[in-house]
Amino acid sequence: MTVTGGSVEKELEGMLGKRVSVVGLGYTGLPTAAVLASRGYSVHGVDVNPRAVDTINSGRAHIVEPDLDMLVRAAVTTGRLEAHLAPRPSDIFILCVPTPCTPDHLPDLHHLTDATESICPHLERGNLVVLESTSPPGTTEMLAALVTERTGIPAGEILWAHAPERVLPGRVLREVVENDRVIGGIDDASTSFCAAFYRTFVSGELHLTNARTAETVKLIENAYRDVNIAFANELSLVADELNLDVWELIELANRHPRVKILRPGPGVGGHCIAVDPWFLVASAPHVTRLIRTAREVNDHKPAYVANRILRRAERFRKPTIACLGLAYKPNVDDLRESAAVEVVRELMHAGTAEIRVCEPFVESHPEFPLVGPDEAIEGADMVVFLVAHDIFRKIPRKALEEKIIMDVCGAYR
């Protein structure tokens, strides 16, 4: 079922008295909390990181996202957004905490269960709990059962729905509002109430279903992207074997009206695409051979890239290698599951070269000292483009003369 239009003003009027808690103030939670505050809601933000809480309460964002600082400042100044270390009673709870994988590629839901446990003392009959964290099929129902066990409130008297986030770093504030959303409740009442709530701040279409379908849709979306990226990454390996230019190959192949090959890179990063396909594999391990293989292709790419860099550096007795970029995608500060980080880690571990690392979107890194682009390149024997940040595209060609250039992401091209 798809919901469009409707009396947003009437729904907003009925919802604005509701208290909203957003649990998890990261790349999804904080923008969502700020948007809700801008719509007139009183928002209680919750995060376990004291530094993040203090930063938000000072009117600033602790993550890099265009226009987010301005929106957080307005929300805090008007008193519509406050950040705290613990939940409090609310009418609506939105869970936006991380859902990583274990080293064995199984879903690690401990952040989610911890967040659910934390709101249990504050839940009342008639509350709505929305799970935005990407989760394996059945997670929303599992958490609902956990709450019933902990609180004694009978099943069905707390509303539960899954509404997976669909935002892209760098465009989050726009996409929180404009993107279509899938809303899936554990029952019809949950779906309807959750849809009425989202209608008050989402201008995109709302597609109503059940919780398990909503959970699986998000996993399918990212598995689809992962498979397509794996094809591009495998093409880059083929091109290396055949001594061909992969960028030219893809550009020419894409001249076909029904071909649209993606760009290869050092692997796949970000919390979603690098993780979510494994949730599908774990849910149906005997029938997900393609999805598993795509994950293996993309997971293997950082080691392949590092080995190729080291082979090309063998001509130097003590090479200096400038590695440009650590983020998982261009022009963001998000290093979660970053393939570029893995490449640099492999190079550092080899210990055969001096490695200079430049990532202009973060101030520091716990493993690698960071330098600016000029310092990284000056005197380097090799320059490796790992992330296609705009700033790297502006490096003068003259500064790269007489250096070996390895462009893993298409930035130099």
Cα separations in angstroms, 369 against 148, 233, 303, 319, 353: 48, 29, 21, 18, 15
The residue annotated as part of the active site, out of 18, 101, 194, 272, is 272
Q: Which of 96, 218, 323, 409 is catalytic?
A: 218
Handedness of CA 396, 402, 407, 413 (dihedral sign): positive
Cα distances from 72 to residues 25, 34, 42, 177, 300, in angstroms, run: 12, 6, 13, 16, 39
272 is catalytic: yes
The rounded distance, in Å, linking the Cα atoms of 360 and 253 is 34
Q: Count CA atoms within 13 Å of residue 279 on its CB side.
A: 29
State whether residue 209 is helix, strand or coil: strand
Of 397, 383, 393, whose CA–CA distance to 309 is shortest?
Answer: 383
Residues in Cβ contact with 376 at an 8 Å cutoff, skipping those fewer than 6 apart: 322, 323, 324, 356, 357, 358, 383
Residue with tokens 């446990």: 117
The alpha-helical segments, DSSP class H, found in 43-124 are 50-57, 68-77, 110-119
On whether the CB atoms of residues 99 and 111 are closer than 8 A, the answer is yes
The whole-angstrom separation of Cα 141 and Cα 137 is 9
Q: Can you spell out the DSSP letters for 127-145?
A: -EEEE-S---TTHHHHHHH
318 in active site: no
Exposure letters 264-289 (e unless 16+ CB within 10 A, then b): bbbbbbbbbbbbbbbbbbbbeeeebe
Q: Among all residues, which ones are annotated catalytic?
A: 218, 272
